[in-house]
Structure 1
C-alpha cells in the first residue's frame, strides 16, 4: 500500500492525476479485500471524495485552525474542494478536560464547587494474585485471625 501511494504521489507530480486516482482506488480495494488498514498517513493523504492523493501545495491546501479549545488541521482538496478536518494535540500541553481541573490532593483548582472528598488511588496490581485470586480478602482474613489470637 505504501509503495502504491508513493507511485500515486509521483504520478500527480508528473501531471497524471487520472493514473494517481486509479492507484489510490487500488489501495482502497486491497485494504478492503485483505482486511488490512492502511497506515494513517496514507489514509489521510487520499481525498475521500475524489480519490486524488493530497499533496500540500500541489493538490491540497493545509491550514491550522483552533476553534473552541480544539485545534484542527484543515486540508482542502484543490481538485474537488472537499474539506478534511483532523484534530491534533499541541505537544507539551495537557488536553483540556470538560470538568474542573483537579490538583494533587483531588481538590478542584480555581473557584469551583467542592464535591465529596476523593479516595486515594490504589495500585490494583498488588491486590490481584497471580492465580486470579484477590489478595485483599486473604489479607483481611489473616489480619482478623491474628487480631483474635
Structure 2
C-alpha cells in the first residue's frame, strides 16, 4: 500500500526523518556523528535551509528544517527564546516543559491525523493552510465520505 502523501506547506518548518537501509546502523562511532553534522552544517548554508533542531540516533536521524532568510546553523524558535532572558534558565524551563509530556488524548489525535495525512490545529490554522495550498486539509472521520443526495 503506498504511503499517504504528506502535506507540504511552503515557507514552513518540516520534520524530516532519515533511516538506515533496513534500519541498519548508520553511525558506528563518534566520528560518524561529527561528519554528519559537518555535512549538515555545510549543506544547510549552501541550500539556505535553517536547522531548528536535530536528533542523531544510531540508525536514523530526525531533523526540523525550514526555509532560510539568513546564515544560521541552529536557529532557535522565537517561542524558545521567549522562555527566559538567560540561556541557562531557558534550558531549565524547556526541560520542565518536555518532562510534562503530551496528554494521551492529544497524542492519539496527532497519531490519527498523521496516519491519514491530515492536520491538527485550531480553525485559524486550518484556514491558513487552505489559503496556502488552495485545498482544505483537516481532520475527517475514517472511511469514505458519505454521499449526500438531496
TM-score class, shorter-chain normalisation, is under 0.3
Q: Which protein shows a greater Rg?
A: 1
Which one has more relative contact order, counting CA pairs under 8 Å at least 6 apart? 2
Superposition TM-score, scaled by structure 1 size: 0.23
Higher helix share: 2
Superposition TM-score, scaled by structure 2 size: 0.23
